Amino acid sequence: MKILVVNCGSSSIKYRLFDMPDKSVLATGMVERIGEQEAALIQESGGKETRTVQPVPDHEEGMQLILQALTQGPGAVIESLDEVGAVGHRVVHGGEAFSESVILDDQVIASIESVADLAPLHNPPNLIGIRAAQHALPTPPHVAVFDTAFHATIPPVAYTYALPHELYEKYGVRRYGFHGTSHFYVARRAAELLGREDIHCITIHLGNGCSMAAVRDGKCIDTSMGLTPLEGLVMGTRTGDFDPAILFYLAEHGYDLAALNKLCNKQSGLLGISGESNDMRTLTQLAGQGDARAQLAIDIFCYRIKKYLGAYTAALGSLDAVIFTGGIGENAPSIRAGCCGNLQQLGIALDAEANRTTIGQEGAIQSADSRVQTWVIPTDEEGVIAGDTFTLTKDLA
């Protein structure tokens, strides 16, 4: 059974075609710069890359371009769209309505729309992608897989904010958490590697967006992102945790809501501290050349993670494993070292050589005398989406 996984952004569509149930990847690609004259489709299949540059006015045209690339030309991997048995969609926010993946219908789509104001940068593009894919592929079932679903097990003590309770009852103001498919995958893989299901672990997803989760016996009990993906760790351009009274102060100095939103989501984080870049690779290079603000951005980034490691160890009561994943987590040994330095009191100690050489691949990086195992585990969010989609639709084929 072939399953197409779609992850739709405001100006892009990422996709991957799987052959299930063995999860072999037939093709992976992306349409970028949708709405521009020089939009591009880039697809890898059969060890070759194909590229198409042409105007793509909207996501409907983007989906048609994807389906054409999968069935025609040098990158074709299927003969007919009839071979696509189901389509899985990444949806960022499911609110409290969804604690697991579901087959899409009108009621589910309406529920996703109803919480769009909780993820205004993500849910609307996700819905655009769903509708475009349904129009292009009306026959196979479509499945929604939610970033928030893995965090549905967080207890009220962890998801409730110290605000008037009617804000939760009326508007759903609470912690939801994100990157759920990534945290779920690496926590499950860590349990496999440790050979038991009852592990207490902390999963650390580090990319342009960053989050952590405390996982007990396979279930999330706390996570760093909140009502939106803004809360928690320092990120590429997002603030993470900060005093909310800063917003009132800036409002008194002329900042309106739009400016504050842009400040917190687009101009802060690593970019804001360094004044140079939101890319950790660039900052690491600049810091090596003596750039003090780049070094400060890196130090704050690691310090915040270290604080959460201590807090989540306390919340779990004991700790078996720490897992790094995401673009930074998988590929930046110096950042991992900065996050885990001087944490022997928590039982966390890295092997310098194992950490240095484990880049972009799965591997244990703890020292021989470390009580806590520390792993690098490349995430596979698309594989999780494909797996859930297959489970829900295999008997419908």
- 216-248 pLDDT, tens digit per residue, is 999 999 999 999 999 999 999 999 999 999 999
Residues of the chain by 3-state class (helix, strand, coil), percent to 5 = 40, 20, 35
Helices (H), the chain: 59-71, 106-114, 123-136, 156-159, 165-171, 180-194, 245-252, 257-266, 269-274, 280-288, 292-316, 326-331, 333-340, 352-357, 381-393
Contacts of 367 (CB under 8 A, 6+ apart): 349, 350, 351
Q: What sign results for the dihedral spanned by CA atoms 216, 100, 114, 255? A: positive
Is the separation of the CB atoms in 217 and 199 below 8 Å? Answer: yes
CA distance 168 to 360: 40
Residue with the two structure tokens 């970028």: 32
Q: How confident is the model at residue 397 (pLDDT cuts 50, 70, 90)?
A: low
Catalytic site residue 147? yes
The fraction of the chain above a pLDDT of 90, given in percent, is 88
Question: Average pLDDT for residues 334-342, to the nearest whole number?
Answer: 98
pLDDT score at 111: 92
pLDDT score at 9: 82
* 3 bridge partner residues: 18, 86
Is the separation of the CB atoms in 271 and 242 below 8 Å? Answer: no
Domains of the chain, by residue range, sit at 2-146, 196-381
CA distance 46 to 23: 15
Question: Average pLDDT for residues 42-62, to the nearest whole number?
Answer: 91
- Could you report the per-residue pLDDT of 10-21, keeping only the tens digit for each? 788 999 999 999
Question: Average pLDDT for residues 366-388, to the nearest whole number?
Answer: 97
Pick the CATH number of 2-146 from 3.40.50.300, 1.10.3720.10, 3.30.420.40, 3.40.50.1820: 3.30.420.40
Q: Does domain 196-381 have CATH number 3.30.420.40?
A: yes
Question: Average pLDDT for residues 164-168, to the nearest whole number?
Answer: 97
Residue with the two structure tokens 């993946």: 101
* pLDDT score of 120 more than 80: no
Is the separation of the CB atoms in 83 and 2 below 8 Å? Answer: yes
Candidates 20, 50, 15, 48; CA nearest to 31 is 15
CA distance 121 to 87: 22
Provide DSSP, 38-80: TEEEEEEETTEEEEEEE---SHHHHHHHHHHHHHSSTT---S-
pLDDT score at 218: 96
Collapsing DSSP states into helix, strand and coil, what is residue 225? Answer: coil
CA distance 338 to 301: 9
- Could you report the per-residue pLDDT of 55-81, keeping only the tens digit for each? 999 899 999 999 999 999 889 999 999
What's the first-to-final CA gap in the chain, in angstroms? 8
Catalytic residue among 19, 22, 105, 147: 147
- Could you report the per-residue pLDDT of 97-109, keeping only the tens digit for each? 899 999 999 999 9
* pLDDT score of 200 more than 80: yes
pLDDT score at 165: 98
Collapsing DSSP states into helix, strand and coil, what is residue 30? Answer: strand
For all residues of the chain together, what is the average pLDDT? 95
Question: Is-same-fold flag (2-146; 196-381)?
Answer: yes
pLDDT score at 163: 98
pLDDT score at 139: 95
Neighbours of 268 (CB within 10 A): 21
Q: Which residue has the higher pLDDT, 120 or 330?
A: 330
